[in-house]
Structure 1
Amino acid sequence: MPASPSTARAINDRQALRLLQHEGPLTAGQLKQLTGLSRPTVADLVERLTAAGLITVVGESGEQRRGPNARLYGIVTDRAHLAALDVRTEGVFVLVSDLVGRVLAEASVPIGGDTGTGPAVEQAVAAVERTAKEAGADRLHTVGIGAPGLIDPATGDLRDSGGLPAWHRSLAAALQERLPGARVTVENETNLAALAEQREGAARDRDTFVLLWLGHGVGAAVVLDGTLRRGASGGTGEIGFLPVPGTGSLPSATDCDGGFHSLAGAAAIGSLAAECGLPLPATIDGPGAAAVIRGAVAEAGDSGAVHPGGPLVGVTRRSGDSGTAHRGAAHPDGERPAGRFLHALADRIAIGAASVVAVLDPGCVVLGGEVGQAGGPLLAGLVEERLRRMSPLLTEVRASTLGGTAVLRGALLTARDRAQDELFAPRDRN
């Protein structure tokens, strides 16, 4: 059955808004060309969207003579303001953007581990309010929060997770109370990182991939056929609890020590670096572990594989390789400290990655987080070489291009999508 006139108008409006979102300001003629709609239909939709306050004239095209045909139309970006939060054990990062995702203000607020739940929540909420004020936002339309831990798929709430501060679970409700007009959503941080890598980072050409988050802790996010998979209890990707060889114990339901976390978490990376004789920063958290890896990569060289004694062997690349190096077999005996460290770390990461590959066969694993980004193509290539020896399933390994910023970017993308879905929703605009 053909669409009714009102439905057709709504669909055309939504298409035009999406084009203006992705392509930037356009003339009516450019909208006609990109949508394939007739000139009168485009003229009608421009009039409707302008009357609805969703688009406005933002300039004139240099390719056109002055007049109606030269007018450039763009989305009214201050129609709604958005906030994104990256909630961590030690604090919170906040940014506020306009409707198209342009960042207007941002802040970082440390929250000490001995801070009580009430004061910690107040510090975080106050940071959001200050950042919104700095951005010139009278109100926030949507707030996206990325946090560690499990998200209950039935309620969307952050579940009680051992080892995480209690204020994490109270933050969303407090924001909703202080910002009554805002729509507040919470998502697992690793899932948001995967969304950001797929939209803006290392997995832009992939509908199916696994993000292996390597930072203060470890986690994974699974994207299959373009859809993020959360699992029955919201726990897909809790790879830190994966029982693995080499840890000396087993994880429990409330403690991931003894699981993959004990091989590839920040503390484990620090211990491995010390064993290899590498200098350590004062604090071994996600950024601290990343600093160790950047130093090792710089010492080993970023143009080829690590070879015993220090010389680097050649690197060959395939067309469309996205920077992942294909290297010869590893020979860890007798290497310099940086080489021993990188080979041993690749061994550890490959153990967790191989388990995921054997079950899901994603074809691509992105090493995310601060650690994955710091290791770059060199560490990704070493992990890929090990996977080729451990698994019959061909798997490309890529380094994150967003690193630790991926969670905040994912939270912003989620907030932007939700706000635009509501404001751009198909409706009859007479």
Structure 2
Amino acid sequence: MAANPIPSVLSFSAATTLVREHAASLRFAYPRKTEILGLAHALGRVLGRPVLADRDQPPFDRSTRDGYACHVSDLLTGNAIPVTGQIRAGDPIEIPRAALVAGHAVEIMTGAPVPLGADHVVMFEHVEHDPEADTIRMTPEQLQNHPPESGANIVPAGAEARRGDIILHAGTRLVPAHIAAAAACGASLVHVYAPPRVSILASGDELVDLDATPLAHQIRNSNSYSLAAQVTAAGGHPHRLPLVRDDPGSMQSAIRMAMDSDLLLLSGGVSMGKYDFAAESLLALGAEFFFTGALIQPGKPVIFGRLPQAGGMKYFFALPGNPVSTMVTFALFVHPLLCALAGDDNSVPRFVLATLGSTVKAKPGLTRFLPAILSGGIHPQVNPIEWQGSGDLANTAAANCFLVVPADRGALEAEDVVTVLLN
């Protein structure tokens, strides 16, 4: 094998920092393409152009409560105030824009325009209403418990946004709240970044295709499917390529065929075994390596680098062949870079804190990611599951997260506050 230009195995922190630096550089160096989608089909996509407010929001002074629009000075007298009308949400704007006469009140509903001159909306339950006289008043007790303030329960016109303001910036990955905000602006069509194309190569003489009947010494190629699912969830377009056999010629030929994509993912052949040819094949094609391993388990033999191509360089990751290692290294390293290719410059692995349910022992030296179950709502608790290592898909499928054991810890105790990597 040719000499490795950067034979570096980095700490977890150093490896993630390096990937994020490269991901950040794509904001300026990667020629992203956009396409137009209907808003109803844009969930999860990344905006390529901002969404602007097409008018002031709200377009009128809006009531935030059901009650009575009135003057604070009239309420403070404690005297009866005649109710001279009603305004509902959706009423023509000419009705509420009529000036409110001093000493009077207007019944108003949530979302309705506030009449000119009113400086307060008092809630129904904070006044006494005389239905026969159709008047309202605040009792001394109500005045003490709910003193009226100017502007209370009213959102002024344009307080949320002015016409032409940016409501959603380019680079925003659209979630339901963003869809609602865009809909409020009348953005029936949005410009989004085209999903990056990701080539997926799985290697190994022991692998067979999904629909094949494996012999006793063979296993099905699950990694191509798990990687394709993770690519799709991150906003990419996966392209699963045929299985690659364990020899340098086949590997190099497959890599050349995969170069028409935006990102290349290899699975398998990255360890130190006699028939692990991924690194050798990549180097033979002129690859530049940024790291050749990370001090984590599972997933230590992970490679990050880029290959030369016409007009620039193409990033690649060579991931371990064990299925759980493949999923963990994708979540930690591939996901941020792929999201950057998709136009989302702010995506990072998702970590949360939780209380550990039971003691966990581990050898220090590696940052470990153990399949676990997170439960408990706003006070989450995490419990690792029993598993047989990074090839154990059956038990890992029961997990919904990974418990993180720091490299400098030999054990975590029950009730410790720990870090959890979300799937």
Structures share fold, TM-score greater than 0.5: no
TM-score normalized by the length of structure 2: 0.31
| More strand per residue | 2
| More helix per residue | 1
TM-score normalized by the length of structure 1: 0.31
